[in-house]
Amino acid sequence: MAQWTSAVGAAQLARLLNSQQDRPAGPGTRRPPAYRALADGIRLLVLEGRVPVAARLPAERELALALSVSRTTVAAAYEALRAEGFLESRRGAGSWTAVPAGNPLPARGLEPLPPEALGSVIDLGCAALPAPEPWLTRAVQGALEELPPYAHTHGDYPAGLPVLRSMIAERYTARGIPTMPEQIMVTTGAMGAIDAICHLFGGRGERIAVESPSYANILQLMREAGARLVPVAMAEGLGGWDLDRWRQVLRDAAPRIAYVVADFHNPTGALADDDQRRQLVDAARSAGTVLVADETMSELWLDDDVEMPRPVCGFDPAGSTVITVGSASKAFWAGMRIGWVRAAPDVIRSLVAARAYADLGTPVLEQLAVNWLFSTGGWAQAVDLRRAQARENREALVTAVRRELPEWEFEVPRGGLTLWVRAGGLSGSRLAEAGERVGVRVPSGPRFGVDGAFEGYVRLPFTVGGAVADEAAARLAAAARLVEAGASGGNGEAPRTFVA
């Protein structure tokens, strides 16, 4: 019986391999043989999670044809991968990817580093900060005081607690977007909200237009839901959206859904202006596309003179085009798994009805805690604390990276939690792997793209400051030196082991 659970086509694997860009070899650096370079490329794709474990690889002849190399080269590469534990084969069943014994399974998203590893590894993978105390403790204490009446009920509120739905609606109304409680559904984080939206509007095989780059975990969620992702390139630097490209994609591809982050985009940090928002809403309406606006970063402006544009849903007065997703996880604390959807009442009813077959509802205590924060002014004070912490971390990280890695290129965003960095011609995938060796965990650019895009980038979050930011930059510089040297004594070969 075959041991593989999915398959990777020859053309797809060739695209992923061709996206891996290396810095040109310097004087005296020996390039690895073609079979070795191919084996290293496949191994990196497995370690990055871009080719799943237990995925059947193409037959040798098929891959050789797709890559325009000899079948002997592919056969030697497969044999090297088998010897290293990254490939298993069985006559009649083909060959499928694996990981050697003792190695952790690669993550396909950006999951947090286990707490027990934090002492030895600097985690730049998760764009989340510690809780802004004392507000977390006060919010939970306030929630406990409000809990007794709810404890006498069944505790299932598929649309969310009425008191929290009303409070969220009032907050939108205060921002100039009249909203009724019937337009709000409380979810288990923003991921829960987008998952529900994708299942309602984006069935298997449906096209979903996404910014390129975009948030890695959302891209993976959509892939696993069976969506066909249509990337739309962002404008250069912090320019926001390229509206000509968006209009072309919406017209030609006719995606059912488009997912965008208008407020301090993850990962680039771009902030779309009012005119861009208006034009994109108009284009989506004309194409019949549902525009999902993720505003989880909307309160994280870090410069005092930033003037926040009108919410994306403010350009959709009829409520027929835009669905808005919000969350407490970025602005407050990732452990507070409360998100929400704002949409037309009929959309909310459909989402609530579908939820009966998913998670039934969001934890009551956490909803009460967020409602306490909103109703007492604690939210505003906690977010002020969060902004101050992120601002200090941003300054420390930018200073350290510019000092240690002056050839790396980036623009400093005016808000959000992430820095999108062009890594001086180095492979982001190889930097991520080398980083594991020297004790810094960093996500590579391809996690934020489609089909291997952004190999030359890494994302750095504003989650460390002070001496830790200095040490993180020093370790990144050490990882860069390993990549430049081939991480094997200068013989041009990439690292062959994965050390967590």
Q: Which amino acid is at 453?
A: A
pLDDT tens across 404-422, in order? Answer: 999 999 999 999 999 999 9
Query: What is residue 500's predicted lDDT score, i.e. its pLDDT?
Result: 20
Helix (H, G, I), strand (E, B) or coil at 484: helix
d(CA 296, CA 291): 15
d(CA 140, CA 156): 19
CB burial string 169-182: b at 16+ within 10 A, e below: bebbeeeebebebe
d(CA 30, CA 311): 54
183 and 344 Cβ atoms separated by less than 8 Å: yes
Query: What is residue 1's predicted lDDT score, i.e. its pLDDT?
Result: 36
pLDDT tens across 417-449, in order? Answer: 999 999 998 988 889 989 988 999 999 998 898
Q: Which residue in 17, 223, 220 sits closest to 110, CA to CA? A: 220
CA distances for 324 relative to 42, 140, 257, angstroms:
38, 27, 13
Query: What is residue 177's predicted lDDT score, i.e. its pLDDT?
Result: 96
Query: What is residue 120's predicted lDDT score, i.e. its pLDDT?
Result: 79
Query: What is residue 109's predicted lDDT score, i.e. its pLDDT?
Result: 45
In which residue are the tokens 């930033």 written? 306
Q: Which residue in 47, 19, 107 sits closest to 453, CA to CA? A: 19
Pairing of strands 339-342, 290-294: unpaired
* Successive 10-residue mean pLDDT values, the chain, 500 residues: 68 83 52 88 79 86 94 95 91 85 55 63 91 97 96 92 98 96 96 93 88 92 90 89 93 94 96 97 97 97 95 94 96 95 96 83 95 97 97 98 97 96 90 91 89 85 96 97 70 32
Q: What is the pTM of this model?
A: 0.82
d(CA 476, CA 488): 17
Q: Which amino acid is at 38?
A: L
CB burial string 403-440: b at 16+ within 10 A, e below: ebbeebebeebbbbbbbbbbbbebbbbbbbbbbbbbbb
d(CA 292, CA 210): 10
CB burial string 23-37: b at 16+ within 10 A, e below: beeeeeeeebebbbb
Query: What is residue 455's predicted lDDT score, i.e. its pLDDT?
Result: 83
- DSSP letter assigned to residue 256: S
137 and 130 Cβ atoms separated by less than 8 Å: no
Q: Which residue in 484, 333, 382 sits closest to 134, CA to CA? A: 382
Residue 234 has phi, psi (to 5 degrees) of -75, 160
